[in-house]
A and B are shown apart, each in its own frame.
Chain A
Amino acid sequence: DIQMTQSPSSLSASVGDTVTITCQASPDITKYLNWYQQKPGKAPKLLIYDASNLESGVPSRFSGSGSGTDFTFTISSLQPEDVATYYCQQGDYLPFTFGPGTKVDIK
């Protein structure tokens, strides 16, 4: 199975800050990396698919980049409603494994 790691496991930032989460895959997954946001008690929400494509309706402050084994997810101006846990997921090889998640809150 593809192994997914994320860092950091949690972070605290101020409103308006730029937040960056990294995800590593082993082995290479080309561009097939997705990012989800999950708020407590809710189903996950797809934000980014295929590394850098913004899902319809998702604010443009969310972005993704990377390829191969190293990927980055960025929130360009953190908002209070962005408090959530963020997961990466590889969609290249079955099983489609998720990363362990990054919990984001407001300082």
Chain B
Amino acid sequence: QVHLVQSGAEVKKPGASVKVSCKASEYTFNNYYVHWVRQAPGQGLEWMGRMNPSGRSTSHAQRFQGRVTMTRDTSTGTAYMEMSSLRPDDTAVYYCATPREPFSGSGYHTYWGQGTLVTVSS
């Protein structure tokens, strides 16, 4: 079982950046792909991207290309998602998620963080 704990809520001004962290309770977190999914208020789920276990390979949805950076610190078992040039329509809950099996590039998400609300407002 993998428990993912995310950083707390953030309030940012338009144009700023935000960095959300996702830490796992299991050291083997370093063996999992990490996906990021967001959900705007009252809206559906939007897949943003994923990062492989080593952190050397990432894939993003086209609309986030150039604005989202996914990284991980294998020494602490923490993954990060940084978004720049924030706009009010980036206001959303951001989730990290992983598949059930280590080293699996599968598209299903078994384990989820609790979500981090990012509010972008002037």
Residues of A at under 8 Å CB distance from B?
A: 1, 32, 34, 36, 38, 43-46, 49-50, 55, 87, 89-92, 94-101
List the A side residues contacting B114 at CB < 8 Å: 43
Q: A89 touches which one: B59, B61, B108 (CB < 8 A)? A: B108
Partner of B46, one of A36, A43, A98: A98
Interfacial residues, chain B to chain A (CB-CB below 8 A): 35, 37, 44-47, 49-50, 59-62, 95, 97, 100, 106-110, 112-115
Q: Which residues of A contact B61 (CB under 8 A)?
A: 1, 95
Q: A43-B115, A44-B112, A90-B107 are in contact. Are A96 and B44 (CB under 8 A)?
A: no
Specify which chain A residues have a CB less than 8 angstroms from the CB of B109 in the assembled complex: 34, 36, 44, 46
Q: What residue of chain A has the Cβ atom nearest to residue B60's Cβ?
A: A95
Closest to B46 in A: A98
A32 surroundings in chain B (CB, below 8 A): 107
- In the complex, which residues of chain B have a beta carbon less than 8 angstroms from the beta carbon of A96? 35, 47, 50, 107
Known: A46-B108, A49-B106, A100-B44. 9 other contacts (CB 8 A): A34-B107, A44-B95, A45-B112, A46-B109, A87-B45, A90-B107, A96-B35, A96-B47, A98-B44
**Is B45 a contact partner of A44 (Cβ separation < 8 A)?**
yes
Closest-CB distance, A38 to chain B (whole angstroms): 8
Rounded to whole angstroms, the CA-CA distance of A28 and B115 in the bound complex is 31
Contact (Cβ within 8 A) B107 A55: no
> Is A34 touching B62 in the complex (CB atoms < 8 A)?
no
> Which residues of B sit under 8 angstroms from A43, Cβ to Cβ?
95, 97, 112-115
6 cross-chain pairs, A with B, having the tightest CB-CB distances, nearest first = A91-B107, A43-B112, A95-B61, A96-B107, A49-B108, A98-B45
- The residues of B that contact A100 with a CB separation of less than 8 Å are 44
CB distance from B104 to the nearest CB of A (A): 10
Bound: A88/B115 CA distance, A? 19
Q: List 5 A-B contacts (CB under 8 A).
A: A34-B107, A36-B109, A43-B95, A49-B108, A95-B61
> Are A94 and B59 interface neighbours, CB within 8 A?
yes
